[in-house]
Amino acid sequence: MTPIKAVCEIVKAFHSSGTRDLKTIKWIVVHDTEGGSARSVASMFSKPSATASTHLVVDEVECIRMLDDKQIPWGAPGANTNGYHIEHVGFARWTRAEWLKRDVTLRRGAYKAALRCVRYDIPARWVGPLGLRFGRRGLTTHADVSDWQDTPGGHTDPGANFPKDVYLTYVKQYIAEIRASL
């Protein structure tokens, strides 16, 4: 597999909760944007009126980096300090087929997740609410974080039909390529 555009344009998010020791990162938190483009979502997160922030926003065309890895985003309460957050342009209501039509978005997000898995020794596996409660390292979703934290009106992204199996396969393939190139 070929990496999907390794360099992301930088657009700074307006909000963060300070900095953290990089050793605290143990989760890749997968989100969806509920519409827009990577650029339009980044523009929204860059304004003082934004109520959230993230590390990366990816779509079929580009990757926008919003926060440095050391910065704590306003991404998913309970998993902000320990999470690396990636927004994928899409909708939680999408079917599996609709997500799979955005293969470049999935690959771009998976490549960025794989880079962090290697950098922060995060295993390529999905971690649900119970695993989060026990601090198990891996990939998770905003929905699982909301379930774990019992967040009222919690988020459901990236949705029940997000192709976790395909995404994880991409993450694992990219991890193997990254490690082989070291």
Name the residue among 135, 156, 154 with its Cα closest to residue 30.
Answer: 156
Q: What pLDDT score was predicted for residue 32?
A: 98
- CB under 8 Å to 174, separation ≥6 — which residues? 1, 3, 110, 111, 113, 114, 115
**Cα separation, 100 vs 137, whole angstroms:** 26
Question: With 70 as the cut, is the pLDDT of residue 133 above it?
Answer: yes
Q: Where are the beta strands (DSSP E) in 15-164?
A: 27-32, 56-58, 63-65, 83-88, 138-141
Whole-number Å distance between alpha carbons of 107 and 39 = 18
Domain ranges of the chain: 9-180
**Does residue 109 carry a pLDDT above 80?**
yes
**34-91 pLDDT, tens digit each:** 999 999 999 999 999 999 999 999 999 999 999 999 999 999 999 999 999 999 999 9
What CATH code is assigned to 9-180? 3.40.80.10
Please report which helix (H) or strand (E) contains residue 116, including its range.
Answer: helix 103-120
Q: What is the mean pLDDT of the chain?
A: 95
